Amino acid sequence: MEKELLTLVTFFPLIGAVLLLFVPKDRPDSIKGLSLIIAFVTLIFSFWLYYGFDVMANGMQFEVNIPWISSLGINYHMGIDGISLLLIVLTAILTVLAILASWNSITTGIKGYFISMLLLETGMIGVFCALDFFLFYVFWEVMLIPMYFIIGLWGGPRRVYAAIKFVLFTMFGSLLMLVAIIYLLFEYQRFSGVFSFDMVKIIDDLPLTYREQLWLFGAFALAFAIKVPLFPFHTWLPDAHVEAPTAGSVILAGVLLKMGTYGFIRICLPLFPEASMAYLPYISVLAIIAIIYGALVAMVQKDVKSLVAFSSVSHMGFIMLGMFAFNVQGLEGSVIQMINHGVSTGALFLLVGMIYERRHTRLIEDFGGVAKVMPVYATFFMIVALSSIGLPFTNGFVGEFLILLGTFKANVVYAVIGATGVIFAACYMLWMYQRVFFGKVTRAENEKLVDLDWREKIILIPLVILIFLIGIYPKPFFDRIEPAVNNIVAKVEKARSLAAESGRESQNKFFATDQAETEVVIDSKEPPNE
């Protein structure tokens, strides 16, 4: 049963989507109920993975490797380490909460909407489980379709524009990634004599020249940077967030953005470690720009949802900055901050959606004094806002502290400049909170607002528990990600040593490599077949 568990977690939502096809569309309660049951059972399976995960083991667990298209070396190869484990659990949690959040807000096309949500869950979990490049690419592309429909059919007034922009940006990066995957396939065939898309074998065995690493890293990194999104590839994100329905924004911020950072960790760093070192200053500078730019733009937003959207750009910049510190503290902080961002920003979008359902406006100027009429709502919002700005004993503090610690060890200047983002986050978040919740109730519509009902409290309570659990006792999470992080850091450290020996560490010249440099290979078990 252990080997089948990963397949169950991945494809159970797909089974649920197929079952929904047979439910009459004039029975919306049955559609919603079945969707919730399917998502909840998937969540139980993900908890089963979490508690069955061996924290002492090194390498992939729950691994399944079955031939699929043997003539092309494509296998159904799935497996997880601690990093992908936490992202799978986060995906399952947010999907359940997103379905609950859609209970009353989606009134048209209910059947298609919930089918799209379940298909989206399968695509997202599949990306985090895939250990075959072909399978990874298929899941990466599959998740685009349901999110396109969720934004384009159930979004705001500019939903079609936002949906098309989201797909075009993502597909542009995906095509470059596909070209890089095909190149790796033929290089591995030339090296080993067999066709194989196996991600583990290619990462462990395939020797790549420095020049090859630089080009291939660039192709993969562009696809992942668009998904993160890293400045200046972020322009699709605010439109998608603002126009998406509440549940779409929750999944987009909570999970889809993490697919980009996960791609860097799973593929770019271990497969192209020396190229990662060469790109380090450029990625770090873009991350710092994202941190400051996202925070400053968030500060001047008039729409609460737009403010939260730009705060995501800033927070994802922090994640990238910690990742490219290339040390255990920075990388662990980056991974845990991926989870933290999903929890805190997902909760913020849920809270914004709850007030929008009551007032049908998200403009800050339309509120004021909301804490007087909705004290429970104001309390939840304050807790989530404080976690978003990194208050001690909340999840945000743990991630940001480790990221800044790791960055400080790697580059003091990057750490000092990046730390200003924490100050800006406090400015825009607390200023927004003051204008929305404090002061007098100046508008008659706000005097009639009804506080949270039981369904909305059920949605928010698990996220608040996670905020304090990670903030106060993060050890169980670090225990699970530490072996995977150590493996990645070891690969990069080996690349750092080779770069120092060849004199490239100080050069950082992307394509001006001489013949001696192109002879160096990373992690090769045999010399390259030249």
Q: Per-residue pLDDT tens for 244-270? A: 899 999 999 889 889 999 999 999 998
In-domain check, residue 530: no
Predicted confidence (pLDDT) at residue 517 exceeds the cutoff of 80: no
Residue 347 inside a domain? The answer is yes
**Which of 7-11, 357-361, 389-393, 497-501 is the least confident region?**
497-501
R_g of the chain computed on alpha carbons: 23
pLDDT given at position 503: 57
> Distance between CA atoms of 101 and 105, rounded to whole angstroms?
7
Q: What is the pLDDT of residue 442?
A: 81
- Per-residue pLDDT tens over the stretch 195-248: 888 888 888 888 888 888 899 999 999 999 998 888 888 888 888 888 889 999
Average pLDDT of the segment spanning 291-302: 92
Mention every residue, 6+ apart, whose C-beta is less than 8 A from residue 423. none
Closest CA to 79 of 124, 115, 128, 46: 128
Q: Is pLDDT of 512 > 50?
A: no
Could you give the CA distance from residue 514 to residue 516 in angstroms, rounded to a whole number?
Answer: 6
- Structural domain includes residue 468: yes
User: Per the structure block, which two tokens stand in for 118?
Assistant: 């379940």
SS3 call for 73: coil
Predicted TM-score of the model (pTM): 0.90
Closest by Cα among 18, 451, 35, 406 to 247:
35
What is the average pLDDT value for the chain, to the nearest integer? 87
With respect to residue 529, please indicate whether it lies within any of the assigned structural domains: no
- Read out DSSP for 111-169? HHHHHHHHHHHHHHHHHHHB-BHHHHHHHHHHTHHHHHHHHHHHS-TTHHHHHHHHHHH
pLDDT tens sequence across 4-55: 889 999 999 999 999 999 998 889 889 999 999 999 999 999 999 999 898 8
- Is the separation of the CB atoms in 139 and 130 below 8 Å? yes
The answer as to whether 523 is a domain residue is no
Q: How confident is the model at residue 527 (pLDDT cuts 50, 70, 90)?
A: very low
In percent, the amount of the chain with pLDDT more than 90 equals 49
Tell me: the pLDDT tens digits for 270-294?
Answer: 888 888 888 889 999 999 999 999 9
* Residue range of the domain that includes 34: 2-518
Q: What is the average per-residue pLDDT within 185-191?
A: 87
- The answer to whether the CB of 155 falls within 8 A of the CB of 162 is yes
Number of domains in the chain: 1
The answer to whether residue 525 is domain-embedded is no
In this prediction, residue 518 has a pLDDT band, given cuts at 50, 70 and 90, of: very low
Q: pLDDT by residue (tens digit) across 71-82?
A: 888 899 999 999
**Contact (CB, 8 A) for 412 and 279:** no
- The CA-atom distances, in angstroms, between 52 and each of 41, 61, 299, 481, 484 are 16, 10, 43, 14, 17
Q: How far apart are CA 228 and CA 234, in angstroms?
A: 8
User: What's the pLDDT score for residue 232?
Assistant: 85
Instruction: Give me the pLDDT at residue 394, please.
Output: 93
- The predicted pLDDT at position 511 comes to 36
Which tokens is 23 given?
Answer: 């439910």
Question: How far is residue 220's CA from residue 49's CA, in Å, rounded to a whole number?
Answer: 29
Position 46 scores a pLDDT of: 93
Block residue for tokens 């993490």: 258
Per DSSP bridges, beta strands 61-69 and 74-80 are antiparallel
CA distance 44 to 94: 13
Contacts of 210 (CB under 8 A, 6+ apart): 274, 275, 504, 513, 517, 518, 520
Residue 351 maps to a domain: yes
**Of 41-50, 54-63, 314-323, which range is least confident?**
54-63
